[in-house]
Amino acid sequence: MITYNLIMLENNIKEVLIIPMEWIWAKRSTRWGRFNDTAEKYHNSMNQLRLLVGSNKDRIIEALINWKYQINFFYKMPESWSLKKKKKYALTFKSTKPDIDNSFKFFTDTLFYKTKYNDSAIFRCNCLKWYADVWEKSFIEFIFLKELK
């Protein structure tokens, strides 16, 4: 379920979509073009994202093309980490895999699938990669940037 927030910061209204997501990073298919289990999970996570975005898809695509957005990718911390380590890294930048360009590519490939738009129209990426808070799961924070008139 997507949650919405409206916040005002430095004369800009920001509408924020929080999209829960379990990240699956895998090849789309094997080198022979066949699906394996991890490729199947990858496509299932793409379908899950399409369902969650739903009616917001066109608004998100328009924001991506017109560079009126910011995306924050929040990743769940590893289960093996101690609580002390989780508290230390909560809401800090993530510098490990997956790469931010792969996260952005996953997001845009999912949204632009079977649309009249092409993701080559995106000329600039405005993304950050974070560790989620201690008890939170992975999610995408999509921020629509709107100027006040």
Rounded average pLDDT over 57-85: 92
Residue of higher predicted confidence among 127 and 35: 127
Distance of alpha carbon 149 from alpha carbon 32, whole angstroms: 54
User: Three-state DSSP class for 96?
Assistant: coil
The pLDDT, as a whole number, for residue 9 is 52
Q: What percent of the chain has pLDDT over 70?
A: 81
Distance of alpha carbon 89 from alpha carbon 67, whole angstroms: 30
Provide the b/e sequence for 11-34 (b: ≥16 CB within 10 Å): eeebbebbbbbebbeeeeeeeeee
- β-bridge pairing 127-131 and 69-75: parallel
The pLDDT, as a whole number, for residue 67 is 86
- pLDDT tens string 129-147: 999 988 888 899 998 887 5
141 in Cβ contact with 16 (< 8 Å): yes
- Which token pair is 145? 């940037």
Considering only CA atoms, give the Rg of the chain: 16
Q: Report how far apart the first and last C-alpha atoms of the chain are (Å, whole number).
A: 31
Indicate if the pLDDT at residue 27 is higher than 70.
Answer: no
pTM value surpassing 0.75: yes
Confidence of residue 149 (pLDDT cuts 50, 70, 90): very low
Indicate if the pLDDT at residue 69 is higher than 60.
Answer: yes
Cis amide bond preceding 20, omega within 30: no
Distance of alpha carbon 73 from the chain centroid: 5
